Structure formats: structure tokens, C-alpha cells
Amino acid sequence: MSNAMTLFGGAKLPSALSSGDMDATTKALAGSSSAGHRISIKGSAFRMIVDGKEVAVSDDRAMNIVVVAAAPTINRQYYEGTYKEGVVESPLCWSQDGKTPDAASAKPQSASCDSCSQNIAGSGQGESRACRFQQRLAVVLEGEIDGPVYQLALPATSLFGKGEANNTKLPLQAYARFLAQNGAPITAVVTEMRFDVQSATPKLTFKAVRPLSDDEYASSVAQGNSTEARDAVKLTVFQTDSKGKPAPAANPAPAKGGDGVETEPVAASKAKPAAPAAKRSAAEVVAAWDE
């Protein structure tokens, strides 16, 4: 609901003001409050990353979100070399559609993802594939549906499989199918994402908590159509953290982690390393994320 009526002393408002929607010009002048925001699941903990820097960690195993947008296809990414903590690095090769390398890839590994040698079992750690599947989502927090949009990049372990009973510990694809069978758009419900404590690597499961109200759903739709949401599902994790700047050429690359291992880079800093972010509850993290 628009606050413009209060701004103008209760006067009757034209539709341009009563809707509460911001036009592109206003957004451009106001700046983006969610640029460079994402939720990491590294180390099986919900971590708030702002412009490549970890600013908060939650002790809670679950967090409630609303999925407002998703990349239309599962993407792929390939890193070469040995991972080093604190190094900023873009994937050497990646694919937006999971079929062919992105034109911006520094070193495409093959003309086709299906025939690529990095897409063979055993090319990564153990029997994993060096080129990893990933699904990028744009999400908002349940208590801040009108607030910042966050990127959430999920590994294959959080995407595929059957899961358990209906609406209980489902991987993302099975969860989306469950919602579709029940006529509920994922953008119209509050979703709980919860860590699977039985998994050795970061793995999330999903279930529906409640439907959104009409006002909440209108906000969800608007957020899904925002520039921030489009960027969240399009940009790589590196591009989100570095605002699209090219990776330093001299940096060593991250490891060829398996599909379920999130060996994501973090922004490098010339300053003395800061102390680890303090762990907080989900409620405290939500409060701190309102930036």
C-alpha cells in the first residue's frame, strides 16, 4: 500500500501514486538498496553477503523466504585449479542455459556442455563432475517482502531428488512440482528453506509455510519484475559480489568442487582481515539485513 496519501495530507491520489510502484527514473535516482546482496549457504549456515563481504551469520537451521523469480534454466559453472580462501575469481567457463558456454566465459571448455570433458563423472573431486549444476533464485525475506532482493545460488544437491512426503523436506524441483500440482505458484507462498543435517555438504530442503495475503502477493510480483530480481537470476555469484567487475588476472582459481560443495569466492581486501562475523539467530540476521 502506498504511503503517498500521508505524504500529501490525505489528498485523493492519481493511479500513478496510489499504486505505490516506483518508475525506472525514481529507482535510478534513488539507487539500488539490494545491489550486491545475496544469501550464501557455505558451511551449511545462512550467511549474508553484501558486495562480496560476509556481514552476518545465522545459527538457525531454517529461514522463511518468498521466491520472487528464478533463472529459466539450470546453469553450469566450471572453476579450474586449487581453491584459496579469500580469492576473488570468476568461473573460467559457465553457461546460462546449461547447453553452451556463455559468450563472456574466459576460457570455454567445449562448444557444447553435453560433450564437454568437464561434464564427465570423475572430472571433479571423487566421482563428481568438474562443471557444476546451479540454480539461481531471487528471494525476499518473509518479514520484508517489500525490502531488498537477494540472490540465492543453489547447488545440485538442493535441486534434484524425490525428497520425503508431500511438502516435507523436498528438493527444489520436487517442491515446485508439488506446488504446481496443488495450484499454488511458488511466488504466492512463504517457503521455508531448511538445512539437511544428514548431508555432509550444504543442502537445503523446502516446504510451503503459508499463502501470501493479496497485498503481499502484489509485492512479490512487483519484486519479481524488478531489475534486482533480473540481475539475481542472471549474474554469477562472482558478478553479484564484485558488481560485474572482471576478476584479477593473477588470481588463482577456486577448486573443482563437486555439485554439492559450494566453494564460492569472496571479495579480496587489501586491509587487514576482519574478525569472523558473529553468529546470530535468524531474527537478528533479518533485522541486520534491512539496509
State the average pLDDT over residues 80-107: 72
Is 27 contained in some domain? no
State the average pLDDT over residues 162-187: 88
Q: Please answer whether residues 280 and 57 qualify as being in contact, where contact means their C-beta atoms are separated by less than 8 angstroms.
A: yes
Q: What is the pLDDT of residue 105?
A: 82
Q: Please answer whether residues 61 and 203 qualify as being in contact, where contact means their C-beta atoms are separated by less than 8 angstroms.
A: no
State the average pLDDT over residues 159-169: 79
Cα–Cα distance, 156 to 108 (Å, whole number) = 21
More confident residue, 278 or 154: 154
- Overall pTM > 0.75: no
Cα–Cα distance, 195 to 206 (Å, whole number) = 9
Cα–Cα distance, 263 to 249 (Å, whole number) = 19
Residue 131 forms beta bridges with which residues?
A: 78
Percent of the chain with pLDDT strictly greater than 90: 35
More confident residue, 204 or 105: 204
Cα–Cα distance, 86 to 71 (Å, whole number) = 27
What pairing do the DSSP bridges indicate for beta strands 53-58 and 279-280?
parallel
Q: What is the pLDDT of residue 173?
A: 93
Q: What is the pLDDT of residue 101?
A: 82
Q: Is the pLDDT of residue 169 over 50?
A: yes
Q: Is the pLDDT of residue 251 over 60?
A: no
Is 122 contained in some domain? yes
Domain range spanning residue 103? 35-288
Cell numbers 524441483 correspond to 173
Handedness of CA 6, 12, 17, 19 (dihedral sign): positive
What pairing do the DSSP bridges indicate for beta strands 150-155 and 37-40?
parallel
Phi, psi of 87 (to 5 degrees): -95, 130
State the average pLDDT over residues 236-263: 52
Q: Is 67 helix (H, G, I), strand (E, B) or coil?
A: strand
Angle at 130 between CA 127 and CA 136, to 5 degrees: 115
Number of domains the chain contains = 1
Question: Among candidates 102, 128, 127, which has minimal Cα distance to 113?
Answer: 102
Q: Please answer whether residues 62 and 195 qualify as being in contact, where contact means their C-beta atoms are separated by less than 8 angstroms.
A: yes
Is 7 contained in some domain? no
Q: How confident is the prediction for the chain on average, in pLDDT?
A: 76
Is 217 contained in some domain? yes
pLDDT-based confidence at residue 131 (cuts at 50, 70, 90):
confident
Question: Among candidates 39, 33, 2, which has minimal Cα distance to 237?
Answer: 39
Is 14 contained in some domain? no
Q: DSSP state, 10?
A: T
Cα–Cα distance, 50 to 65 (Å, whole number) = 18
**Burial classification of residue 198, based on how many CB atoms lie within 10 Å of its CB (0-12 exposed, 13-18 middle, 19 or more buried):** exposed
Is 277 contained in some domain? yes
Is 58 contained in some domain? yes
Residue 151 forms beta bridges with which residues?
A: 38, 138
Q: Is 151 helix (H, G, I), strand (E, B) or coil?
A: strand
Q: Please answer whether residues 113 and 119 qualify as being in contact, where contact means their C-beta atoms are separated by less than 8 angstroms.
A: yes
**Integer distance in angstroms from the first to the last C-alpha of the chain?**
21
Q: Is the pLDDT of residue 267 over 50?
A: no
Is 17 contained in some domain? no
Comparing 143-152, 159-168, 178-187, which segment has the lowest mean pLDDT? 159-168
